[in-house]
Structure 1
Amino acid sequence: MDHQFPKTVTRQELLFEDSDAKFRKLLYEITALADRVETMRATFARHFGITRPQYNILFYIAQHQRDVGLTTGQVATALRVSSPHVVQEVNQLVRVNLIEKSPNPDDGRSVLLRVSERGFVMIDDLAPTLRDVNDRLFQSLSKSEFDQLCTLVATILEDAEGVISKLPVD
């Protein structure tokens, strides 16, 4: 049976010589890259004895907590996950003494999350490996290419959020 695969895009900006093959290749490569990054993060998470989602939450809090801490809602919004998911994962991180909770003085209904001293010791221990991996992962990009990549990924991610919100329900 001779069947020609249908085009998956119609925008001329996404077609090359009237073919969407380059577009489809890009999607496969983005997926493969995301899988490689997730594999690296899962490896780093094992260093802490936690899961990859817990690793993401731990590092986001460590990077953004400042002196005050973060609410679960702030973490959920930034990581584009649900607040109940963050609550569940944070509870595990509290049990292994990587995150500490304290009452939120501005909102008695919420708590503030901060990385524990143990958590920071472990992050500091892993930092040389993270620097090496990240430097090598992005070694082929110039500063302007990196800046452009950051902008493009953020823009496409926003587009993706809009698309997901309009997907037909099963």
Structure 2
Amino acid sequence: MARQKTKSERNQIPRRHDGAKPKGSLPLTVTRPELLNDDTDRDFRKLVHNIFAFMARHEAIRDGHARQIGLAGIEYTILISIGHLALDGDVNVKTVADHLHMSGAFITTVTSKLQVLGLIEKTQDSVDRRRISLAITEKGKFLLRSLAPYQREINDVEFAALGKEDFQFLSRILEALIVSGDAAVALQRYKASIKNDSKVA
């Protein structure tokens, strides 16, 4: 006569064999071996979701900096970018657009608002009249100087986990990811255009 299982044995969840796919497993979202661990993309998904989580916090902090001086987040970003880029020479719409990886049309719209607020000034290039130089006014510099003590305290806490080598490594990685990200966006748009063309045909 077969032995009856105890209550603990009946409630025990059977273990799956090593190498077997878990029930209801999802398809891989990447295929590069460098991004896989034990033939799964779980570490990759964790990285992507952590990026989302950090960017949400960073954007909240950026918006908080902006509120301190009465600006929207993107207005503050463009204002301080003009100030830092000016340390290397003349600044124009293309300079800012390239620096922030945004469209020139968008930068033009935001800088026009900053000009109305009296925070930047636009001057026409004496040689190329199509080119408009951007510079922060004294009012704009005053706002950034008044923000700096608050800003330093918050930024030091946000990036407290980074040592000097970590910071330099992360900076290099982000620059490389922006380049590969641009390539991925271009590929995605191309595939979308093919899909739309096939619908029309």
TM normalised by structure 2 equals: 0.79
Can you give the 5+ residue segments of structure 1 that lack an aligned partner in the other structure? Answer: none
Equivalent in 73, 87, 90 of residue 111 of structure 2? 90
Q: How big is the alpha-carbon RMSD for the aligned residues of Structure 1 and Structure 2?
A: 1.5
Which of 21, 30, 35 pairs up with 1:9? 30
- Tell me how far apart the structure 2 counterparts of residues 162 and 44 of structure 1 sit (CA, whole Å): 31
Choose the corresponding residue for 1:21, options 27, 33, 42.
Answer: 42
> Larger C-alpha radius of gyration, 1 or 2?
2
> Using a 3 Å threshold, how does the CA distance of structure 1 residues 19 and 80 change in structure 2: closer, same or farther?
same
1:105 Cα deviation (Å)?
2.3
Q: Quick one: distance in 1 between partners of 2:156 and 2:108? A: 32
Given the alignment, which residue of 176, 185, 188 partners 1:164?
A: 185
Give 1:91-106 correspondences, 5 Å limit. Answer: 91-106=112-127
| SS of residue matched to 2:121 | strand
Q: Distance in 2 between matches of 1:82 and 1:106?
A: 24
Matched residue count: 169
- Give the counterpart letter for 2:168 in structure 1: D
- Within 2, Cα distance between the matches of 1:106 and 1:142? 46
Query: 1:52, CA displacement in angstroms?
Result: 1.4
Contact residue 93 and residue 132 of structure 2 kept, 8 A:
yes
TM-score (norm 1): 0.93
Partner SS, residue 70 of structure 1 = coil
Counterparts of 1:10 and 1:29 in 2: how far apart (Å)? 20
Task: Find the partner of 2:58 among 27, 37, 42.
Answer: 37
The corresponding residue for 2:144 is: 123
Segments ≥4 residues shifted beyond 4 Å = none
Q: Which moved more, 1:40-49 or 1:59-68?
A: 59-68
Q: Does 1:80 align with 2:106?
A: no
Q: Distance in 2 between matches of 1:106 and 1:148?
A: 41
